[in-house]
Structure 1
């Protein structure tokens, strides 16, 4: 994907178009230069594809000052070319606010996925990593260095699955700063895409570790950096797959933060990205897209769309089982086990049961099967699914088993360094309220409360 030249809007044709608010000509010029579809441009501008098409055909105009200012901000159009005083169109990021609270988060995310040149501040924000920058005296990077980066990332991934992100989060961030310091070192051109993808993979892992300890602001910064690095490494066949995986992690976070509408939009962006890149996403990654779409639909209480998404997820996982794993893809079966696939489906049923209690028994069946199938190497995954299982058992009226599962959850979670698991335990405490008059449930509630301060 190309970038907009520095003085792109200074051409006579575009000056004339902007002076008369002929945004059809502007949209066509931007799409032609950068290589965007009408749908992708619409996602960046928060406009439907049909409206982008109508504007380009001259059937609809754009005159409302707020919409004009938004387009100028997101496409980096100089304010004076639209008749504003310089700087008056402003920027959606004038203030350094939390990335969790940014109103333009979805815009930033879309820009990072499609091309950072389309948001005037993304390059600065995306490269501002949390933590302290480091310098490097290295002048050359070779294949062995990239092998080391990939091995380090894989080590962090395995540790996270077994123990949670708390104990290795700082180490991962330190490693990422060291790798970032190497970006200006000389590297054979045939290795540069692989270096960018290895860097993006490490940043993605560091973002997940930050998310697991509920440092959501740092997680979003790290994931945005990963998206930008993966896009710059678009010649590598792993680029699209990694981009989609990062977007799905961000959708996962949005659900955790109680933002199902945001999660759905991010998952849909992931789905659009998977089908619109130079290289395809892995079949297992496509399956996970539909799992996250299912979670988002379930949280919104949309039963039939949830079922459709989960069915498509199951189909893709079956296809992934029989298809050869691409040479560039990590061994996804080491991460997405049968237990994890069942857990994804069970968690969707659990989310639906929050508004539709009749689905609690299905959640219990699936989550019980998943929890019983996790091995020690996936202890964190088992722990994070125990509270939803217990909560579903409470909603299904199976109080005795719910109490037993709850104590399993307390034991499993307090042995890990995953703050996110404690959030699930807190939700479980809320689910017990219906039965609080029972003495054994009252004791359980007291034990849950006593366990929670461990994260303080």
Structure 2
């Protein structure tokens, strides 16, 4: 494999390590696949053997742009992986302009969606107001129908926004950049919902850069919050905590709701790591922030429309699941589901799948299977892959415990596979 760079960097373990920016895992996988020693690998990337060893063991983190670039060049990491993985490529400014000259989310995607063309028309506030409303409507639609039907629509809509850049003047320039950032964040979320991690990370990075350029602290922090959510979904508890904490300190002036989401995301990471005290402390802090935010909803950014007491109750249930407090998890998730409006079809499907999991953990096999099987049609329609995977996890738990309902759930899932 070492003689075939294409095959080497197509290896899923190595590609995943690059995309997640886990340089210790990159070194370990690269050496395993090529047979290189730590010393020889160090020669390629300009590091001494003890430094390579420390990075592999997690004793040293790669934080320097210069060191990162030496690794990229020394190992010959393809540009397609660099673009998706790098939050700050060497030689590039940390804030990319709307000329899109920095690392692209995906070369083909970039060509189709965000190529900038000269525009003779002038942009006015009324047009941007209309696009704001259209984005809000699409966010609401995605709650009901899921991401798949909307992805192409949103790509075209982002292109429309980006094409306006050359025609914007004065304060409208910041509005165009801010609107582009919001579209990129929504595209990232939809990619994340479809478990397309590389595309999601790239769009979150692009959204973050545009938010900084436009001076939008709330969106800058939100992109970090959502990257924390993605780290959590991949089982990376420590990275979840670190990204959530970064969302709290890196962008001053964020709203109380955005701060509350960051505290809740950090709590989720601690819970995933089994650190109950820190999880509960941050959940309590998040609840105080959310309560204060509810007193002045006009101060919250429009994309935070979903985040309130109901959502937070569901998040407490998720944290309890991680801590294996099954009965507490059941109680919180059941209460949250009862209060969650039906238009949140995708989210209701996800939390029903989680409720089934929690019920199975609590030993209530018949009820777990009943909730799970009722969720199967929606999970197949709008809940793939996350809700679907959660139902399979529930089935596996039931089977391990010898519950006959496990076989019934497996049969129901197979009808839609």
Normalised TM-score (structure 2): 0.76
For 1:41, the equivalent position in structure 2 comes to: none
Distance of 1:226 and 1:194 partners within structure 2: 14
For 1:339, the equivalent position in structure 2 comes to: 310
- Note if contact 1:325-1:331 (Cα within 8 Å) is conserved in structure 2: no
For 2:137, the equivalent position in structure 1 comes to: 155
- Note if contact 1:248-1:266 (Cα within 8 Å) is conserved in structure 2: yes
Question: Residues 28-86 of structure 1: CA distance to partner in whole angstroms, max 9, x if unpaired?
Answer: xxxxxxxxxxxxxxxxxxxxxxxxxxxxxxxxxxx97669997361699xxxxxxxxxx
1:217 alignment partner, SS class = helix
Within the candidate set 204, 219, 222, 1:223 is matched to 204
Change (3 A) 1:166 1:315: same
Change (3 A) 1:143 1:101: closer
For 1:175, the equivalent position in structure 2 comes to: 157
Deviation at 1:262, TM superposition (A): 2.0
- Note if contact 2:221-2:250 (Cα within 8 Å) is conserved in structure 1: yes
Is residue 214 of structure 1 aligned with residue 195 of structure 2?
yes
Within the candidate set 336, 345, 360, 1:379 is matched to 345
Distance of 2:105 and 2:250 partners within structure 1: 19
5 Å-filtered alignment, 1:180-195, equals 180-183=162-165, 185-195=166-176
Change (3 A) 1:320 1:88: closer
2:210 alignment partner, SS class = helix
5 Å-filtered alignment, 1:56-205, equals 71=64, 73=66, 90=73, 94-98=77-81, 102=85, 105=86, 108=88, 115-116=94-95, 123-125=102-104, 130-131=109-110, 132-133=112-113, 134=115, 136=117, 138-139=119-120, 140-183=122-165, 185-205=166-186
1:124 alignment partner, SS class = coil
Within the candidate set 382, 405, 413, 1:448 is matched to 413
Change (3 A) 1:260 1:373: same
Q: Greater relative contact order: 1 or 2 (C-alpha under 8 angstroms, separation 6 or more)?
A: 1
Is residue 262 of structure 1 aligned with residue 239 of structure 2?
yes
Deviation at 1:148, TM superposition (A): 2.8
Question: Residues 368-426 of structure 1: CA distance to partner in whole angstroms, max 9, x if unpaired?
Answer: 11111111221111111111111111111112211111122213323426433223223
Question: Residues 145-172 of structure 1: CA distance to partner in whole angstroms, max 9, x if unpaired?
Answer: 3223212211221011112111111211
5 Å-filtered alignment, 1:5-16, equals none
Distance of 2:278 and 2:63 partners within structure 1: 32
Deviation at 1:91, TM superposition (A): 7.6
Distance of 1:341 and 1:267 partners within structure 2: 16
Distance of 1:74 and 1:395 partners within structure 2: 45
Within the candidate set 303, 326, 343, 2:276 is matched to 303
User: Considering only CA atoms, is the larger Rg found in Structure 1 or Structure 2?
Assistant: 1
Is residue 432 of structure 1 aligned with residue 404 of structure 2?
no
Question: Residues 88-123 of structure 1: CA distance to partner in whole angstroms, max 9, x if unpaired?
Answer: 994898422547984xx5x649x99x9348xxx992
- Note if contact 1:350-1:363 (Cα within 8 Å) is conserved in structure 2: yes
5 Å-filtered alignment, 1:232-247, equals 232-234=213-215, 239-247=216-224
For 2:285, the equivalent position in structure 1 comes to: 312
Structure 1: tracts of 5 or more residues without a match? 1-62, 77-86, 354-358
- Note if contact 1:162-1:378 (Cα within 8 Å) is conserved in structure 2: yes
Distance of 2:282 and 2:75 partners within structure 1: 34
Normalised TM-score (structure 1): 0.70
Cα RMSD, aligned residues only? 3.4
For 1:27, the equivalent position in structure 2 comes to: none
- Note if contact 1:161-1:380 (Cα within 8 Å) is conserved in structure 2: yes
